[in-house]
Amino acid sequence: MEHVLRRIGAETLRWLQGLGRATMMWAMAVARLPRWSDVSLIVRQVYNIGVLSVVIIVLSGFAIGAVIALQFYTQLARFGAEDAVGVGLALVLLRELGPVVTALLFAGRAGSAITAEIGLMKTTEQLSIMEMMGVDPLRRIVAPRLWGGFISMPLLTVLFNTVAIYGGVVVGIHWLGADPGGFWSGMQNTVELWQDLGKGMVKAVVFGLVVTWIAVFQGYDCEPTAEGMGLATTRTVVMSSVLVLAMDFFLTLLMYGDFR
Amino acid sequence: MTESLGPDTVGSGAGSTGSVNAQTADYLIEIDDLCLMRGEKVVFDHLSLKVPRGGITAVMGPSGTGKTTLLRVIGGQVRPDSGAVYLNGKDVCRMSRSELFEARRDIGMLFQSSALFTDINVFENVAFPMRVHTDLPEDTIRDLVIMKLNAVGLRGARDLMPSQLSGGRARRVALARAIALDPDLIMYDEPFTGQDPISMGVILTLIRQLNEALGTSSLLVSHDIHETVNIADYVFVLADGKVIGEGPPKALRDHPSRRVTQFMRGDPDGPVPFHYPADDLKYDLLSEDV
Amino acid sequence: MRMRTIEISVGAFVLAGVLAAIFLIVQVSGINVSRSEETYKLTARFDDVAGLRVRSKVSMAGVTIGRVQGIVVDTEFGEAIVTLEIDGAPGSLTIDTGAKILTEGILGARYIGLVPGADEEMLGDGDEIVETQGAIVLENLIGQFLSNFGKG
């Protein structure tokens, strides 16, 4: 029993230490705002993180929008409320599914790539030699990726939502034959700029920050071996996914609150 | 593990310790009473040594004696538990992060793995230090890079990616990168290991040539006796975290200490035992418990 | 060279993001940026506005002619005061126009339906619609039905 307690204690301390290191890395990388000369580094990372994720985001967005419209339509048609498909689709996407699914895909596509890339740099001593050259890897490698993720994630979320609504239109209106007027006006009358779109984007920004942070830190802190890199990449995806879902719950509670 | 996330030591001490006095001026690097523990293991035990300016100095010793760690301590990547490392009369261990990055611009380093940046080609690898540390115009950088690559004989390989190079060539590119900014000090970490005889010869010649041509000081860490003895002007032999012998390579072969001569001649048994500490073989064979 | 393609694709990515954001703002959340036409306000008191929200539509004969601008409660009379924003210039609605809270479909959104009157006089900016009928709340209806049923 004592043995187990000691293990738990040690694990907790180790976890706390990791959190501390991650925080210090983040603070030291972001403390100094990017200079003009860093812009091209950030642009490159927006490409690596954002542009390269567009395809998976667009494909998944379309599929999810289509399937939500299909489900809503069949259920709502029983009450003769097919027009409410638009409202339901928009609210579900803007408030929850848009940011969450984008963040999960982002973690899988961009997060794991960031971890693997930085992990490889660490394993092959590229980070170390950079330091020895008088170039701070926190500024050169870590910071541009943090900014790149921070910029990309909201843009990806917006794209996801748009494509998903288009997917809903294709299925709901063009295929199942819901009335376009009711579809759009129902959506426009109910969806509010800040309450639905704005708060959803707040989630997207928070998820973007956290997922990129985890990904960069896991790479930066991984054990410099092939095995360590593999573990770190897995950890990035698992930790990001769990944290995104947990944070989504609390952000919903916090922002939409008052469910009692 | 790099200590890059460690807390910055306050740079206030640098001013007082950085005063250049007559003694330190003759030596490029002066290590004074250095102690470092790695967990339970003692890496450096009150180690002191002085690297003269100019010439090639070698630090030798069996594997696992912290030779690589020594280079990282000099470069400020690893902070020792106590002691001081003066580089050009300034204590590396008491520099702030920014002072350290400033000081490292005068150091070229060649890692055991060549550590080339895998996402950019050979040309950009060599150009990297120039781009980040100078404001030179593009055509000047081009000329400089070509000259550096020419010096290591790889001018024709400038458009290749690091993954397309053999190990020996990659190390030569890394060498060209290390000398990109004409550093005062070049540190070589095991430059001869894992090289075929030809590329070993190439590297050997390059180190000597570069040292003469650039007028820099070289600090070389190795356990390859023949090559090192060939090239070094002065040798330190390290064991158990201490210097056990020093002098010009010729003199060390006849060093009074048996430990030094064992290493220099490569005897399999001696003060450093062949066997890992164990019970008597007889008991091991006769013991019942398995 | 390669950096150029990267920069162009990043530019396209950001542009696509901005366009998508505009789409979401205009088409989905229904902020009408080109709405510069004239509007005027009317108020109406309802005994119950359950389900009505700000920016719910105001329609007449099924055509949207305005939207709900604000809802406040008058605790003294236990009534809700709804401010309506009607498109166009005042002078098209008679003073005895009625306002009802209706539902699109059985579960759809609540909206205000205006029923034209026959008076000569017209409603002006800031006037009040007197003739109102609040939301039909299903629970009340059922409650009423049950109590009547019990009596009978």
Residue-wise pLDDT tens digits, B152-182: 889 999 999 999 998 888 999 999 999 999 8
- Residue C49 inside a domain? The answer is yes
Query: C115 - beta bridge partners?
Result: C98
The answer to whether A125 contacts B111, with C-beta atoms less than 8 Å apart, is yes
Chains A and B touch (3+ CB pairs under 8 A): yes
Q: Are residues C65 and C16 in the same domain?
A: no
The answer to whether A124 contacts B113, with C-beta atoms less than 8 Å apart, is yes
Nearest to A129 among B4, B115, B133 (CB): B115
From CA C141, how far away is CA C145, in angstroms rounded? Answer: 6
- Token pair 């305005």 is found at C66
Burial of C113 (0-12, 13-18, 19+ CB in 10 A): middle
CB pairs under 8 A between A and C: 104
Does the interface ipTM go beyond 0.90? no
- Residue C101 inside a domain? The answer is yes
Which among A232, A196, A204, A236 is positioned nearest to A101, based on CA atoms? Answer: A204
Parent domain of C3: 1-34
**If pLDDT is split at 50, 70 and 90, which confidence band does B252 have?**
confident
Residue-wise pLDDT tens digits, C43-93: 998 888 888 888 788 888 888 888 888 889 888 888 889 999 888 888 888
- Residue C151 inside a domain? The answer is no
How many domains is chain A partitioned into structurally? 1
Within an 8 Å CB–CB cutoff, is residue A134 touching chain B?
yes
From CA A97, how far away is CA A89, in angstroms rounded? Answer: 10
Res C35: pLDDT? 52
The answer to whether A84 contacts C105, with C-beta atoms less than 8 Å apart, is yes
Q: Are residues C47 and C121 in the same domain?
A: yes
Residue-wise pLDDT tens digits, C9-34: 999 999 999 999 999 988 888 775 44
- Residue A149 inside a domain? The answer is yes
- Residue C58 inside a domain? The answer is yes
Q: Are residues C52 and C89 in the same domain?
A: yes
How many domains is chain C partitioned into structurally? 2
- Residue C145 inside a domain? The answer is no
Query: Can you list the domains of chain B with their CATH numbers?
Result: 22-286 (3.40.50.300)
| Other CB atoms within 10 Å distance of the CB of residue B97 | 17
The answer to whether B104 contacts A126, with C-beta atoms less than 8 Å apart, is no
Q: Taking residues A131-159, what's their average pLDDT?
A: 93
From CA B220, how far away is CA B30, in angstroms rounded? Answer: 15
The answer to whether C6 contacts A43, with C-beta atoms less than 8 Å apart, is yes
Q: Are residues C49 and C14 in the same domain?
A: no
The answer to whether B101 contacts A21, with C-beta atoms less than 8 Å apart, is no
Residue-wise pLDDT tens digits, B65-92: 888 889 999 998 888 999 999 988 889 8
The answer to whether A54 contacts C13, with C-beta atoms less than 8 Å apart, is yes
- Residue C25 inside a domain? The answer is yes
Res B3: pLDDT? 40
- Residue A9 inside a domain? The answer is no
From CA B112, how far away is CA B187, in angstroms rounded? Answer: 11
Chains B and C touch (3+ CB pairs under 8 A): no
- Residue A51 inside a domain? The answer is yes
DSSP assignment letter at B68: H
**Interface of chain C toward chain A, CB-CB under 8 angstroms:** 3, 6-7, 9-10, 12-14, 16-17, 20-21, 23-25, 27-31, 53, 55-57, 64, 67, 104-109, 111
The answer to whether C25 contacts A43, with C-beta atoms less than 8 Å apart, is no
Nearest to A129 among B4, B105, B109 (CB): B109
Identify the closest residue of chain C to A157 by CA–CA distance. C17
- Residue A115 inside a domain? The answer is yes
Q: Are residues C18 and C78 in the same domain?
A: no
Q: Are residues C66 and C108 in the same domain?
A: yes
- Residue A17 inside a domain? The answer is no
- Residue A98 inside a domain? The answer is yes
Chains C and A touch (3+ CB pairs under 8 A): yes
Res B2: pLDDT? 39
Q: Where are the alpha helices (DSSP H) in chain B?
A: 12-17, 22-25, 67-74, 97-103, 122-133, 138-151, 167-178, 197-214, 225-231, 249-252, 258-265, 281-286
Res C92: pLDDT? 81
**If pLDDT is split at 50, 70 and 90, which confidence band does B284 have?**
confident
Q: What Å distances lie between residue A203 and A154, B145, C117, CA to CA?
A: 9, 47, 49
In this predicted structure, the answer to whether residue B10 has a pLDDT above a threshold of 80 is no
For chain A, the maximum distance between any two Cα atoms, rounded to a whole number of angstroms, is 70
- Residue C96 inside a domain? The answer is yes
Q: What Å distances lie between residue A184 and A180, A190, C54, C139, CA to CA?
A: 6, 10, 17, 30
As given in the structure block, the two tokens for residue A92 are: 């579900």
Per-position b or e across B43-65, b if 16+ CB within 10 A of its CB = bbeebebbbeeebbbbbbbeeeb
Query: C85 - beta bridge partners?
Result: C41, C67
Res B1: pLDDT? 39
Percentage of residues of chain B with pLDDT beyond 70 = 90
Q: Are residues C70 and C103 in the same domain?
A: yes
The SS3 call for residue B247 is strand
As given in the structure block, the two tokens for residue A88 are: 């339901």
Provide the chain A residues 140-169 that lie in CB contact (below 8 A) with chain B: 140
Parent domain of A162: 39-255
- Residue A29 inside a domain? The answer is no
- Residue C77 inside a domain? The answer is yes
Q: Taking residues A88-104, what's their average pLDDT?
A: 95
Q: Are residues C5 and C75 in the same domain?
A: no
Within an 8 Å CB–CB cutoff, is residue B133 touching chain A?
yes
Q: Are residues C60 and C26 in the same domain?
A: no
| Other CB atoms within 10 Å distance of the CB of residue B6 | 14
Q: What Å distances lie between residue B161 and A115, A140, B169, CA to CA?
A: 22, 21, 12
Interface mutation target, options A28, A48, A129, A138, chain B, most CBs of B under 10 Å: A129
Interface mutation target, options C4, C6, C28, chain A, most CBs of A under 10 Å: C28
Higher-scoring residue by pLDDT: A220, C63:
A220
Nearest to A128 among B2, B5, B107 (CB): B2
Nearest to B115 among A125, A136, A138 (CB): A125
In this predicted structure, the answer to whether residue A54 has a pLDDT above a threshold of 90 is yes
Which among A101, A104, A52, A49 is positioned nearest to A236, based on CA atoms? Answer: A104
The SS3 call for residue C77 is coil
First to last CA, chain B: 38
CA dihedral A259, A83, C99, C77 (to 10 degrees): -10
Within an 8 Å CB–CB cutoff, is residue B171 touching chain A?
no
In this predicted structure, the answer to whether residue B95 has a pLDDT above a threshold of 70 is yes
Nearest to C29 among A54, A182, A192 (CB): A192
The SS3 call for residue A245 is helix
Q: Are residues C26 and C77 in the same domain?
A: no
The answer to whether B118 contacts A120, with C-beta atoms less than 8 Å apart, is yes
In this predicted structure, the answer to whether residue B230 has a pLDDT above a threshold of 60 is yes
From CA B90, how far away is CA B80, in angstroms rounded? Answer: 15
The answer to whether A24 contacts B132, with C-beta atoms less than 8 Å apart, is no
The answer to whether C111 contacts A54, with C-beta atoms less than 8 Å apart, is no
